[in-house]
Amino acid sequence: MNLQAFLISRAMPAREFSRRIGVSPAAVARYASGKRIPSPDVMQRIIAETEGAVTPNDFYDVPLPPSDTEARTNITVEIAADLLDEAERLGTDLVAVAERALTTAIRDARRTQWRQENAGAITEANEELARNGLWSDGLRLF
């Protein structure tokens, strides 16, 4: 759920939400409109204040998990009983949590794979930079 949808669903004015997370109402308006992405520390406060309903992915163009109309596969997983009991008590959507975790794991694995595949080029670029510096070094005015 994006921040705008959260604020609307709770009938919460940006001013009130901004007070709760310690930023200006204008900042909340920019976050909600997508014109600005919160810093990591503000992001943590948003997650805490929304109880996880708004996540960092909601501020980026990340594909959403498949909708109910898309093909889905049933799987069986083993989860610690105490975690499952607590999740059920809190009304946690286990499918949404699993899909978010899997999406994150896939993204992280792709990032690692890309870094491994491009390690040579990255090393070469870093060595070139160490030898010659930035092309713009002589253009800096500060």
What pLDDT digit, counting tens, does each position of 88-129 carry? 888 888 888 888 899 999 999 999 999 999 999 999 999 999
**CA-CA distances (angstroms) from residue 52 to 2, 17, 135?**
11, 15, 44
Judge whether 139 lies within some domain: no
Write down the pLDDT at residue 93: 87
Residue 87 domain boundaries: 65-134
Domain boundary among 11, 28, 62: 62
Judge whether 141 lies within some domain: no
Long-range contacts of 52-60, Cβ-Cβ distance < 8 Å, separation of 24 or more: 53/1, 53/6, 54/1, 54/2, 54/3, 54/6, 55/100, 57/100, 57/103, 58/1, 58/2, 58/3, 59/2, 59/3, 59/31, 59/34
46 shares its domain with 69 = no
pLDDT tens profile 45-64: 999 999 999 988 888 765 65
19 shares its domain with 71 = no
Domain boundary among 62, 86, 113: 62
Tell me, what CATH number does 3's domain have? 1.10.260.40
Tally of structural domains, the chain: 2
Domain boundary among 22, 43, 62: 62
126 shares its domain with 76 = yes
| Global confidence as pTM | 0.45
